C-alpha cells in the first residue's frame, strides 16, 4: 500500500499528463483529488480499507433505494472493522471517501445529473467541473493510485452479447488487466456474454477465483453461469494470501474474487435468461447503444421481475461488502509488520525465547537447471535451460530460514577449503557457520538438480562424500551445545554412526529430535539402526514415508480408489502407534497431513521444555493449501516449511499456528529463485491470532 503523499503525486502526474492541453492551469496544478481525513489516516497506518464505486448510486438503482443501499454497504464494511471509501467526482473534484451529504447529493438523480466516468471520461468531467459516478474501471484507477488494495462492487462489466459485431467490451476488463487490485463482485452481470468475458480476462492476465466450495462462476443474479473457473477458495484469509502474493510479485494485473449471490436471493437462471432476451430486444428496437445499454437493461429487468431483481442486487452487494471487508482485514494483518497483537506480545515479558537450536546436517552448494523445453531427452543432446547456483543442504537451508524467521540456530556440518565453502559462508549468518568444520580432504558438497519446464525435479546428482567427516567424535565434541539446545534437528545426510551418536546425546539430555528424511534413498537410514524411538518429529514426503514403513515392516495397501490422502493417513497412524512420534507428511499441492497423539490446539513446547504428556489416541489432520500459479522454484519449499513449523514450536505455538507460519514461509520460497528467500519474515511480526484450518480424518 502506497503512502498517501506518494500516491497523490503519482495520480496527479498521471492525470496531469492527460490534461496537459487544458487552458485552466488551476485544475492541473492544484490537487485533483480529495481524500477524507478518515481515509488518509487509514492509508497512512496501512489500515483495512475498501473502495466502493459510485455508478451504483448514480446509475444503478432508483432513488431512494440507491442511497439506502449505499449507506447500508458502508455500515456493513465498518461493522467488519474496515473503512469504506466511496469514490466519485463532485463538481470536477475526485473524491475518495464521500461524506453523507455528498452521497445524498449524488443519489438524488432527479435533481442532480451525473455522468458515468471511466478512464476516457476523467479529463472532460474534471475540466468542466461536472459530477460523475465512477464505473468499475474508473474506481479501479483511483483506488489503485491512492493505494486501496480491495474494491467491492456488485458485478463487473464485460464482453457484451454480439460483441463480435459491435466490439462492445467494457473498459472494466482492461483496467483489471493493468492495475494490481482485488475486485470482489458477484461475477459479471447476467446480461453479458460470460464465456467470452472469462476468455478476455484470461488474455488480460486477470486471476479469477470463486469464493465458494465449488468452481461455478456466478452471474450476478444467479449463483451459476454454466462456466467454471480454474480456482476456488473458501475463506477471506485465503483471498488475502492470494492478494499478498500478487503484491509481493509486483504483478501489474488485478484479481477478481467472484462471490455467488446468497441462495435465498438468487433468481432462477432460465427465467432470468428469458427476461434478458426480452430486454435486449427492446433495447435493439429503441436503438440504445454503448454505455446506455447496461442501465437500461437493468431497469427493464427490475420492471419485468416486479422488483425482485433490485432486491437481489441489493442483497448481493451487501454480501460482497461483508466478504470484501473481511478480506481487507486479513490482508492488513499480513502486510502490517506491527499489529496490535504483535505489540502486545512484544510488551509481554513472558514471551518464550527461541533458544539456540542445534542443526546437524548438510551444507551444500546447489546448482539447479530448469529446462525450457516441455520434455527432457536423455540422449546426450543439449537442452536450453536457465541455471542458478545457491546455498543448499537440508540442514543449512533450515538454519538459514530459521535465522530469517527470528530464531537463533547453529549448524554442525563440514565444508571444504574451496570457493564453494566461501560462497556458503557468505550467504549464511556468521553465527550459524561458527561450528562448521573445514577440511582439505574433500570438496564442499555439491548437488545438481535437473527440473522440467514446470519446475518439477526430474534428476538429482550429489557429491556428498565430505559428510563422512561428521563423525561420532565430532558430535561428542559439541555436547555442551547440544545439551543447552531446545531441539535437535537432524537431516539424513549424516552417516548411521553420526545419527546414532546424535540420538544418544539427545536422549541423555532429554532433547527432542526433529528428523528431516532429506531424500528417498536416505530416509530410512535412521530406522535401519533401530533408533526410531529417539525421534519426536519427522517430516517425510509420500515416497519417503512408504520407504520408512517398508523398513519398519509395516504393510499398508494402497487405497482402492487411489486416494493418496487416505493411504498416507492410514500409514501414518500405523507408524505413529509404533514409534510414538509426530509425523508431518508433505503432500505437495494437496497440503500437509499431521499424524500426532496431541490435539491441534496444544503447544508442543512450553518454557523451552518438551511436553511429554500426550494421549494414547492418534489424531490425523489434513491442512490443505491453496493452489498457486507461476511458481518459480519448488526446491527449498519443504525446508522452509519445516523451518517455519519448528520456529513456531519453539515459540510455544499450537499446531494450528505452527502450520500457519510454515505455510507462509513455504509460499515465500515457492516464489524465490533460491531455496531460501532473501527475505522471509520475523516470527515476532506475525499475527498469532491466525490459525490454519484443518480437516480431521
The span from the CA of 82 to the CA of 78, in Å, is 5
154, 309 contact by CB (below 8 A)? no
What element of type H or E holds 33?
strand 33-35
635, 449 contact by CB (below 8 A)? yes
Question: How much of the chain is helix, strand and coil, in % rounded to 5?
Answer: 45, 20, 40
Residue at grid coordinates 432462477: 268
Helices 194-203 + 171-178 axis angle, to 10: 30
The span from the CA of 582 to the CA of 586, in Å, is 13
Buried residues in 165-197 as b, exposed as e (16+ CB within 10 A) = eeebbbbbbbbbbbbbbbbbbbbbbbbbbbebb
**Catalytic one of 102, 116, 175, 189:** 189
684, 406 contact by CB (below 8 A)? yes
C-alpha to C-alpha distances, 86 to 152, 156, 180, 654, nearest whole angstrom:
10, 16, 19, 40
293, 283 contact by CB (below 8 A)? yes
**Catalytic one of 53, 175, 544, 655:** 53
DSSP string, 240-308: HHHHHHHHHTT-SS-EEEE-PPPGGGPPPHHHHHHHHHHHHHHHHHTT--GGGHHHHHHHHHHHHTTTH
8-state DSSP, 32 = S
The three-class DSSP label of residue 227 is coil
| Residue 696 β-bridge partners | 621
Ramachandran region, residue 651 (left: φ > 0; alpha: ψ -120 to 50; beta: rest) = alpha
155, 185 contact by CB (below 8 A)? yes
Q: Clarify whether 189 is annotated catalytic.
A: yes
Alpha-carbon 370 to chain mean position = 24
487, 467 contact by CB (below 8 A)? no
Residue at grid coordinates 481487507: 328
2, 146 contact by CB (below 8 A)? yes
Q: Clarify whether 53 is annotated catalytic.
A: yes
Residues with active-site annotation:
53, 189
Amino acid at each position: 500500500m502506497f503512502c498517501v503523499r506518494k500516491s497523490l503525486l503519482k495520480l496527479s502526474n498521471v492525470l496531469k499528463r492527460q490534461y496537459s492541453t487544458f487552458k485552466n492551469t488551476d485544475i492541473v496544478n492544484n490537487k485533483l483529488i480529495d481524500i477524507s481525513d478518515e481515509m488518509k489516516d487509514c492509508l497512512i497506518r496501512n489500515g483495512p480499507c475498501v473502495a466502493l464505486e459510485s455508478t451504483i448510486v448514480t446509475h444503478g438503482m432508483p432513488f431512494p433505494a440507491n442511497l439506502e443501499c449505499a449507506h447500508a454497504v458502508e455500515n456493513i464494511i465498518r461493522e467488519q472493522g474496515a473503512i469504506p471509501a466511496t469514490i466519485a467526482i463532485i463538481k470536477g473534484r475526485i473524491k475518495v471517501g464521500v461524506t453523507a451529504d455528498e452521497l445524498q447529493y449524488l443519489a438524488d438523480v432527479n435533481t442532480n445529473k451525473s455522468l458515468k466516468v471511466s478512464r476516457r471520461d476523467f479529463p472532460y468531467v474534471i475540466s468542466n467541473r461536472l459530477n460523475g459516478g465512477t464505473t468499475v474501471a474508473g474506481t479501479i484507477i483511483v483506488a489503485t493510485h491512492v493505494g486501496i488494495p480491495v474494491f467491492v462492487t456488485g458485478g463487473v462489466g464485460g464482453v457484451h452479447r454480439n460483441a463480435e459485431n459491435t466490439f462492445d467490451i467494457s473498459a472494466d476488463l482492461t483496467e483489471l488487466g493493468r492495475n494490481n487490485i482485488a475486485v470482489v463482485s458477484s461475477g459479471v452481470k447476467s446480461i453479458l456474454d460470460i464465456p467470452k468475458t472469462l476468455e478476455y480476462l484470461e488474455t488480460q492476465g486477470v486471476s479469477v477465483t470463486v469464493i465458494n466450495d465449488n468452481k461455478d462462476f456466478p452471474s450476478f443474479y444467479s449463483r451459476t453461469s454454466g462456466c467454471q473457473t480454474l480456482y476456488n477458495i473458501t475463506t477471506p484469509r485465503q483471498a488475502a494470501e492470494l492478494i499478498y502474493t500478487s503484491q509481493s510479485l509486483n504483478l501489474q494485473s488485478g484479481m477478481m474474487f467472484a462471490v455467488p449471490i446468497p441462495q435465498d436471493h438468487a433468481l432462477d437462471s432460465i427465467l432470468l435468461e428469458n427476461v434478458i432476451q426480452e430486454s435486449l430486444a427492446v433495447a435493439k428496437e429503441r436503438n440504445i447503444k454503448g454505455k446506455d445499454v447496461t442501465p437500461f437493461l437493468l431497469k427493464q429487468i427490475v420492471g419485468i421481475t416486479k422488483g425482485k431483481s433490485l432486491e437481489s442486487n441489493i442483497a448481493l452487494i451487501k454480501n460482497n461488502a461483508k466478504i470484501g471487508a473481511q478480506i481487507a482485514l486479513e490482508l492488513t494483518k499480513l502486510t502490517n509488520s506491527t499489529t496490535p497483537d504483535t505489540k502486545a506480545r512484544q510488551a509481554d515479558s513472558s514471551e518464550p525465547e527461541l533458544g539456540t537450536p542445534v542443526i546437524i546436517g548438510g551444507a551444500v552448494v546447489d546448482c539447479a537447471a530448469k529446462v525450457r523445453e516441455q520434455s527432457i531427452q536423455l540422449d546426450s543432446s543439449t537442452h536450453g535451460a536457465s541455471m542458478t547456483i545457491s546455498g543448499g543442504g537440508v540442514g543449512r537451508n533450515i538454519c538459514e530460514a530459521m535465522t530469517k524467521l527470528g530464531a537463533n540456530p547453529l549448524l554442525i556440518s563440514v565444508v571444504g577449503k574451496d570457493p564453494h565453502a566461501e560462497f556458503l559462508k557468505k550467504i549464511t549468518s556468521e553465527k550459524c557457520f561458527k561450528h562448521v568444520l573445514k577440511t582439505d580432504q574433500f570438496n564442499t558438497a555439491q548437488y545438481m538438480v535437473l527440473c522440467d519446464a514446470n519446475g518439477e525435479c526430474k534428476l538429482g546428482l550429489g557429491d556428498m562424500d565430505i559428510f563422512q567427516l561428521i563423525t561420532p567424535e565430532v558430535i561428542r565434541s559439541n555436547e555442551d551445545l547440544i545439551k543447552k539446545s531446545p531441539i535437535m534437528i537432524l537431516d539424513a545426510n549424516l552417516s548411521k554412526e553420526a545419527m546414532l551418536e546424535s540420538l544418544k546425546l539427545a536422549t541423555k539430555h532429554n532433547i527432542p529430535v526433529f528428523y528431516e528424511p532429506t531424500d528417498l534413498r536416505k530416509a530410512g537410514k535412521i530406522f535401519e539402526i533401530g533408533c526410531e524411538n529417539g525421534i519426536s518429529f519427522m517430516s517425510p514426503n509420500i515416497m519417503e514415508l512408504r520407504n520408512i514403513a517398508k523398513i519398519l515392516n509395516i504393510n499398508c495397501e494402497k487405497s482402492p480408489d487411489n486416494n493418496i490422502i487416505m493411504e498416507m493417513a492410514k500409514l501414518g497412524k500405523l507408524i505413529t502407534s509404533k514409534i510414538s512420534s509426530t509425523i508431518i507428511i508433505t503432500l505437495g499441492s494437496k497440503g500437509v497431513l499431521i499424524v500426532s497423539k496431541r490435539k491441534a490446539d496444544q503447544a508442543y513446547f512450553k518454557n523451552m521444555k518438551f511436553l511429554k504428556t500426550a494421549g494414547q489416541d492418534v489424531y490425523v489432520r489434513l491442512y490443505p493449501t491453496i493452489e498457486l500459479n507461476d511458481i518459480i522454484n519448488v526446491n527449498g519449499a519443504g525446508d522452509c516449511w519445516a523451518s517455519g513449523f519448528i520456529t513456531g514450536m519453539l515459540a510455544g505455538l499450537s499446531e494450528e499456528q505452527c502450520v500457519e507460519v510454515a505455510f507462509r514461509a513455504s509460499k515465500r520460497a515457492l516464489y524465490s529463485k533460491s531455496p531460501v528467500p532473501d527475505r522471509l519474515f520475523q516470527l515476532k511480526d506475525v499475527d498469532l491470532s491466525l490459525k490454519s484450518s484443518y480437516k480431521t480424518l
